[in-house]
Each structure stands twice: as structure tokens, then as C-alpha cells.
Structure 1
Amino acid sequence: MKLVVLGLSLSSSWGNGHATTYRALLRAFAARGHEVLFLERDVPWYASQRDLTDPDFCRLDYYADLDELARWRSEIAAADAVIIGSYVPDGVAVARLVRGWREGTLAFYDIDTPVTLAKLERGDEEYLSAAVIPLYDLYLSFTGGPTLDRLERQFGSPMARALYCSVDADAYAPVSVPKHWDLSYLGTYSPDRQPTLERLLIEPARARPDLRFVVAGPQYPEDIDWPANVERIEHCPPADHAGFYSASRLTLNVTRADMIEAGWSPSVRLFEAAACGTPIVSDRWEGIDDLFAPDREIVLADDAVDVLAALDRDLVSVGEAARRIVLSVHTAAHRAAELERHLGDAAKAKNKPEQEERV
């Protein structure tokens, strides 16, 4: 299969989780014998922070604007499938342009589904509009559960399928390093995540000055009152993630408000930390127990008391159990097989009316 992907960023993981998701998925997809072209909007923010410029699993090219995107018109038209991702600049215009260039399968990969739908409810069409959703033959959603039915019934998607994030099992595995932190958190600052971070990491840090904590990720405001025992790391590149998790006795998962409301929205960080065998403490949302068994494969916490109790437990077996689950069903190899199947189903559904007409 020849696949073209227009995504937010493959080249830079700075301030976004899209890059690691695309890297794992497309590497595994290429390993199945497929050819991939990734087209990325050339923007200053990512251009100055690139940590992957020459991937060995796909071609990576850049376009400055919609006019320059036309340089790849023939390849986009001839591809077996084209995927446009969430948060692609001028995403609505890109979708209309690409749909006009090709008759074949066109999919939307939403790594931010609950955020996307909340934006649509507000009339915010930054990268997707309700009007273009039916133009996509397939809506690949970061979120499963009832959201898939909503995409089809309310928004007219011909086919909505869950395609959760995943983990590159070769890049994320336990690393033999000393335990440097008792509780860690890896994630870019988000206003709607910050109250949970305050409740589940900063409050426990204040209560236990004898323990060591760390928050890694960019864009945190300077006025946050970090306790003295909370270390700050501005950016932890993907190459350092496995070592970061392995140096953590326990790591925290924090979910955005829209994703908690939708449920069934696992962060890529869940799978990455679990693949490293690091025990996870997470906020609660519907569907998380479909992925990990509470207390056996993950610890769920509502407040600082729950986190402090977890910090007093030996959770090695919890981390090991979560790693087994991830390696059995949540690796990039599993997702690549799912993507292949979903694209095949969409192509069959698209061609079915023509076949029935010929009969």
C-alpha cells in the first residue's frame, strides 16, 4: 500500500504527543511492507525544535502553504490511502483540497477527538468542520466507546473506528538505572490538566518533603509554586523517555477534561510508561478499566491521599502486569495491523455501491 499522511508533526516532539504517536505507528506500518510519505507543514515552532529529520521508515517532506502542497498533488491522487491528522494547520482547507484531488480512500486521524468535538460544539473549526467530516471515508479516533456512534450519527461520518495510541516496544522497555524519583509526570502544560497535577503530585510533594518528585515538559507558567522537592525538566525528548520512566518508582497519568468526559481516551503516555514496566497512578475516567485492571495493572487516584497511599506500597508487580498487557495488545505493531484493516474496510465500503450498481 502507498500511504500519504498529512500530520501535525513527525519531525519535532517538542510540546506535542503527535510525533511519537506517528513515529511508532508509521514505523510499524512500513514494517508490514507499505510505503509511506509524511507531509508536514513547515512552521517555525517545529522547524527550530526538530529531533527527527531523516526517518528510516518513511519519506518526510515539508510544505510552506496550501499552494506549495500542490507539489505533491500527483502522489496524493495516486496513493492507495491518504490520512489527514488533527491539528494540521488549515485542516479544513487541506481536506477540501485533497478530496478534490483524489477519488480513493481519505481518512481523518484524530489524536484529540474529545477536544475536537468540544471545539466543534463551540463553533471552533481550527482544523476540522462538521461539514467536512462526511467527506472523509474513515474517521480514525483516539477515543473509543460511545464517541464512535456519535461521530456517525450526529456528524455523518461514513465509518468511525477507534485507533488508540500505541507504543514502539523497541524504544520503550525497562532500562537498568537507579530509581531517582518517587513520583514523576511527563507532559506539556495544559490549563485543564493543571488542577489534577496540583492535586495528585504537587500536594503529595508538599506532604512528603522526604520524597523526590519531577515534572518534565514545556510551557509551564513561571508563577507555579513548585515545592522544593519537585524537580523541573523543560523538555524530555523521546529518546530519553524510557530512562525517565525507568528512573521513576511511580509515574502519574493526567487526562484532559474533555477526554475524561468522553472516556475511552488513553494517552500515549499510559502505554509508554507501562511498556517500561513503571507502575502508573492515574486519574479516573470511564473505560480505563477496559485497558488496565485497577490495583492489579494500574492504581487509580482521586486525591492526594490516594497517591500518598500508593507511594507507601510496593508496586513492582503492578508495573510488570501493565507491561504484559501493553506488549500483548497495545504495541505499534498491533495498531499498524488495525490501521491496515480499517483502511481496507473503508475502501471496500467505498467501492460497494459501485459494485452493486454493476450487478
Structure 2
Amino acid sequence: MTRIAFYGSSLLSSYWNGAATYYRGLLQALAMFGHDISFYEPDAFDRQAHRDIDPPGWARVVVWEASARGLSRAAARAAEAEVVIKASGVGYEDDTLLQEVMGAARPGALRIFWDVDAPATLAAMQADPDDRLRRLLPSLDLVLTYGGGAPVVAAYRALGARDCIPIYNALDPESHFRTAPDPRFEADLAFLGNRLPDREARVEEFFLRPARALPEMRFVLGGSGWEEATLPRNVRLLGHVPTREHNAFNVTPRMVLNVARDSMAQTGFSPATRVFEAAGAGACLITDAWEGIEMFLEPGAEVLVAQDGDDVIRHLRATGADAAGEIGARAQARVLAEHTYTDRAALVHGILKNRIRQTEHAS
């Protein structure tokens, strides 16, 4: 049994934490391969007041005080593990946490940086030769990324990483599946996502502009931060939608929308968690266009792709409820066959097994 110390944003709360579903699905599946996982998350951003799962049986969750003392105590526990993983975007003194965690790792431990926002992380490193992560990269054994494909792999290697492997988002069939519709989410098109500066213009183009152009249709907007936004009359604002309600949110509307952040769309090969959540529920998904979508779903048959707001309008007008249901059913079948977290965990398990063996042989 391999002991893994994983330092991330939060496993217990999805509140202002887009990586929650990714962590939960992947780590639960990884535990099935016999790994003993301890997840260390800071008490930050009021997440502990918005927990949406209980501490799971498949991981030991340690909530540490967001202070210098709390950080040091949590980082010191990296010495207990054979594999030490620091994720990006933990949310409290990330650079210091990275340095202390990797410094505390025992000799021979596998040291991994797991990037859940590669475009932003790479941009920061490329802009600053003294960036803490950039300086530490050559000393780390491996970088794993939430997505990004060949462009991200090449960029990481150019900055000194020994190796970089994308571990894409996926579906957890036990968490995201077809369920009964909920009248709260009835709409022609629904979008779920927090209001972020580098996504707002795309939400305007792909969601709000179609809403204004189609006043006879109903639109639903979920996520935090939209309270001050100017919305068309036919857009109903929900606020934060807990993870436990995502299945109903995805299955109820005629269609659901995925909108990537600017950096993710430009990088490509970065399917958001929402893509697999929606497909797992059998939803008809409209996604903004990004390179690599065909690796995950077939455009036109399993997902509808929009280059701009006009394409969203066209899809809404041309795709009735029956056709939308058929697209959703095909998407669900595809992700169940090829894109579950068990598939991704098998890849990670193989990587860890091989790297640990190499380290043992080297010593």
C-alpha cells in the first residue's frame, strides 16, 4: 500500500473550488487501487462552512489552520508518505506551501506537482524567471496536469520539468448520472459557473447574448458572483448550486452550456468538469469551441459545438427536445465507455507504480 500525501484546495467543499469534483472522482478511484490517501486542505475561503460531502472513507482529510504555524505543521506531515503531491491553487500561501511540502518529503519519496490550471500557472512562470515553482521544477519528479495536451507538456518541459503528463477530467458514474428533473432548473438553456474575469466575456457572448436574442425562451444561470451582473429578463439567477444538485441541474433543461475560461479555450485539450458531469447525466451539451474536443465527444453527434453566440442561437432553434435527448444519450454512452475516473486512476496508478520502481532501483 502506497501512502500519498495530497495538498489541495478542498475535498470536502465545492464552494469557490472548481477542482472539487476532479479531486473526489480521481482520488476515490485511486484508493480502489490500494493507495492510502491523506488530503490536506486549508481552512480558507469559508469553504468549511459550505461542506457538501462528509469526510469520505477512501481518504483521510486533514483541515489545517490557514496560518504560518498551520501551514508548517501540515507540510511536515509530508514526511509520512511515499508520494507527495502539491496541487496548484490551494488558496493559502501556495509558494511557501510548495517549498515546505517538498522540503519535508522523505529521501526517495516521489515528489509531484499537480497543476489544475496549467494556462495560468505557465503564464506566471514564463513572466517571472524567479517564480518559486519555476525554480523548483527541475528538482521535482513529475508534473501532472488537469489538461492541456501537447502544448502544456512542451511548455512545462521547456521550463525545466523532468516530465509532464495530462490527467484529464472524467466522469464518476456514482456521483453524476441521470436523475429525475427538478422544476427549479427548467429552461431551454442552463449554464453553471462562477463569475470569473477571464470567463465573463465568453459568458456574455455564448449565454447572455443568445438570451437577449431569444426572449421567448427560458435561461437559467447558476454559480457564485453573478448577483451584480445585468441579466436579461428571461434569465433566472440561482446562485451557488451544490454538487449534490448538479445531476438535476443537468438533466432538467433542454440543453446545458459549457463555457471555458479564455486561457483554457486558447490552450485547448482542457475539458471542464462540467463537460463530463453533463454527459454523465445524459444532458444535451453545447460547448464553446476548443481544440481537442473530438478526443472526448464527437461534435454534432455527442455534443453541439458553438464558435460564437450565433451558433448557440442556431442550436437552440434547430434542436428540439427529442433530438437533444438523443445527443445526450450518445454522450452518456461515450463517457461511460471511455472517460470515467476509474480509467484516469488506472493511468495514475501505473505512473506511480513505474516511478516508484524506478526510484527504488536508482537507490
TM-score clears 0.5: yes
Please show how residues 257-296 of structure 1 align to structure 2 within 5 Å.
257-296=262-301
Match of 1:115 in 2: 120
Match of 2:83 in 1: 81
Q: 2:164 aligns with which of 160, 163, 170?
A: 160
Secondary structure of 1:38's match?
strand
| Distance (whole Å) between structure 1 residues aligned to residue 56 and residue 101 of structure 2 | 24
Q: 2:253 aligns with which of 248, 252, 262?
A: 248
| Distance (whole Å) between structure 2 residues aligned to residue 282 and residue 20 of structure 1 | 19
User: Residue by residue, what CA displacement relative to the aligned partner does 1:66-102 show, whole Å, maximum 9, x if unpaired?
Assistant: 4334445675223121111111222222222222222
Secondary structure of 1:145's match?
helix
| Distance (whole Å) between structure 2 residues aligned to residue 73 and residue 316 of structure 1 | 48
Determine if contact 2:75/2:100 at 8 Å carries over to the other structure.
no
Match of 2:198 in 1: 192
Matched, 1:217 2:223: yes
| Distance (whole Å) between structure 2 residues aligned to residue 192 and residue 185 of structure 1 | 16
Question: Which amino acid counterpart does residue 151 of structure 1 have in structure 2?
Answer: Y
Question: Which amino acid counterpart does residue 194 of structure 1 have in structure 2?
Answer: E
| Distance (whole Å) between structure 1 residues aligned to residue 297 and residue 340 of structure 2 | 15
Structure 2 gap ranges (5+): none
Match of 1:137 in 2: 141
Please show how residues 21-100 of structure 1 align to structure 2 within 5 Å.
21-64=22-65, 65-71=67-73, 75-88=77-90, 89-100=92-103
Distance 1:201 1:124, change over 3 A: farther
Determine if contact 1:133/1:155 at 8 Å carries over to the other structure.
yes
Question: Which amino acid counterpart does residue 250 of structure 1 have in structure 2?
Answer: M
Match of 1:7 in 2: 8
Distance 1:320 1:268, change over 3 A: same
Q: Give the total of aligned pairs.
A: 351
Match of 1:169 in 2: 173
Question: Which amino acid counterpart does residue 138 of structure 2 have in structure 1?
Answer: P
| Distance (whole Å) between structure 2 residues aligned to residue 44 and residue 294 of structure 1 | 37
Match of 1:357 in 2: none
Q: Which shows bigger deviation, 43-52 or 32-41?
A: 43-52
Matched, 1:347 2:350: no
| Distance (whole Å) between structure 1 residues aligned to residue 77 and residue 89 of structure 2 | 22
Secondary structure of 2:217's match?
coil
Determine if contact 1:99/1:135 at 8 Å carries over to the other structure.
no
Q: CA RMSD in A?
A: 2.0
Displacement of 1:351 after TM fit?
4.2
Secondary structure of 2:253's match?
coil
Distance 1:346 1:254, change over 3 A: same
User: Residue by residue, what CA displacement relative to the aligned partner does 1:268-297 show, whole Å, maximum 9, x if unpaired?
Assistant: 111111111101111111111222111011
Q: 1:331 aligns with which of 340, 343, 347?
A: 340
Secondary structure of 2:95's match?
helix
Displacement of 1:310 after TM fit?
1.2
Distance 1:287 1:279, change over 3 A: same
Question: Which amino acid counterpart does residue 157 of structure 1 have in structure 2?
Answer: A
Displacement of 1:42 after TM fit?
1.7
Secondary structure of 2:84's match?
strand
Secondary structure of 1:131's match?
helix
Secondary structure of 1:132's match?
helix
| Distance (whole Å) between structure 1 residues aligned to residue 339 and residue 168 of structure 2 | 8
User: Residue by residue, what CA displacement relative to the aligned partner does 1:123-146 show, whole Å, maximum 9, x if unpaired?
Assistant: 3989x6211222321101112222
| Distance (whole Å) between structure 2 residues aligned to residue 130 and residue 178 of structure 1 | 47
Determine if contact 2:33/2:349 at 8 Å carries over to the other structure.
no
Distance 1:350 1:300, change over 3 A: same
Distance 1:341 1:303, change over 3 A: same
Q: TM-score, normalised by structure 2?
A: 0.91
Distance 1:246 1:265, change over 3 A: same
| Distance (whole Å) between structure 1 residues aligned to residue 360 and residue 75 of structure 2 | 22
| Distance (whole Å) between structure 2 residues aligned to residue 72 and residue 47 of structure 1 | 17
Determine if contact 2:84/2:102 at 8 Å carries over to the other structure.
no
Q: TM-score, normalised by structure 1?
A: 0.92
Distance 1:156 1:189, change over 3 A: same
| Distance (whole Å) between structure 1 residues aligned to residue 140 and residue 187 of structure 2 | 45
| Distance (whole Å) between structure 2 residues aligned to residue 124 and residue 227 of structure 1 | 45
User: Residue by residue, what CA displacement relative to the aligned partner does 1:17-38 show, whole Å, maximum 9, x if unpaired?
Assistant: 1122111111112222221111
| Distance (whole Å) between structure 2 residues aligned to residue 72 and residue 181 of structure 1 | 45
Displacement of 1:110 after TM fit?
0.8
